[in-house]
């Protein structure tokens, strides 16, 4: 029997993520404390390569900053939602984030510095993050920008009435979509609801 295929074929030269998820050591409390205000690099395909969807978090958690992996805090639903919605053929571990380029996917954040909670960010930081994000979009030209966090999106882009789903405004030729915040602290959104929102994005945009 032939193995199931991913929703989109990886770029040539990129290994398909068929192995078991990677397990890594959990950061200690001292590691987490030391990670405050640290930054981590964006996850992006090489310049000129197809970028189908650029996912944008609010800012890194201390856990993410301590490990160097996006959406890494235990209980975050980003990676399960990415798989359940059909963006990846299996559940990827945060440590496997570099495999996303093979699916034309990327990750960035509105604000680069890590905090224990997104509530520690002030509106000026979010607005500055929106400007930086617009510059990144102009440079990398993803088909879709998906911002995971409606409240942060409203502040960053001055859209107080924005809701989850597609936005009427574009950034250049890039369609903008707002997703629910997948953090485990966002208890009003369960994993099935978050996965459904991710699936709506994938199916509506053909990505």
pTM assigned to the model: 0.87
Contact 137, 176 (CB under 8 A): no
**Helices of type H across the chain:** 29-34, 62-67, 78-84, 123-140, 150-157, 191-205
Q: Taking the C-alpha atoms of 14, 16, 22 and 27 in order, what is their torsion angle to the nearest 10 degrees? A: 40
pLDDT value at residue 24:
62
What pLDDT is recorded for position 23? 56
Secondary structure letter of residue 178 according to DSSP: E
Buried b (16+ CB within 10 A) or exposed e, 55-93: bbbbbbbbbbbbbebbbbbeebbbbbbbbbbbbbbeebb
- Identify the three-state secondary structure at position 110: coil
CA–CA distance, 54 with 116 (Å, rounded to integer): 24
Query: Would you give the DSSP letter of residue 119?
Result: G
Tokens matching residue 165: 């789903």
Check residue 207 and give its pLDDT: 86
pLDDT in tens, the chain (207 residues): 444 343 444 443 343 444 444 556 789 999 999 999 999 999 999 999 999 999 999 999 999 999 999 999 999 999 999 999 999 999 999 999 999 999 999 999 999 999 999 999 999 999 999 999 999 999 999 999 999 999 999 999 999 999 999 999 999 999 999 999 999 889 899 999 999 999 999 999 998
């Amino acid at each position: 029997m032939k193995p199931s295929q991913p929703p989109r074929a990886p770029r040539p030269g990129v290994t398909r993520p068929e192995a078991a998820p990677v397990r890594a050591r959990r950061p200690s409390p001292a590691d987490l404390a030391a990670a405050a205000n640290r930054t981590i690099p964006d996850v992006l395909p090489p310049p000129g390569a197809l970028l189908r969807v650029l996912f944008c978090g609010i800012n890194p958690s201390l856990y993410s900053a301590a490990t160097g992996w996006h959406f890494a805090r235990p209980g975050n639903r980003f990676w399960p939602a990415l798989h359940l919605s059909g963006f990846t053929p299996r559940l990827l571990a945060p440590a496997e984030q570099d495999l996303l380029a093979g699916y034309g996917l990327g990750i960035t954040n509105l604000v680069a510095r890590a905090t224990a909670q997104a509530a520690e960010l002030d509106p000026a930081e979010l607005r500055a993050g929106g400007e930086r994000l617009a510059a990144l979009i102009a440079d990398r030209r993803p088909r879709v920008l998906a911002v995971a966090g409606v409240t942060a999106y409203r502040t960053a882009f001055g859209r107080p009435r924005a809701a989850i789903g597609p936005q009427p405004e574009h950034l250049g030729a890039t369609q903008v979509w707002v997703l629910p915040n997948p953090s485990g602290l966002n208890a009003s959104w369960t994993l099935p609801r978050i996965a459904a929102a991710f699936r709506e994005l994938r199916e509506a945009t053909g990505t």
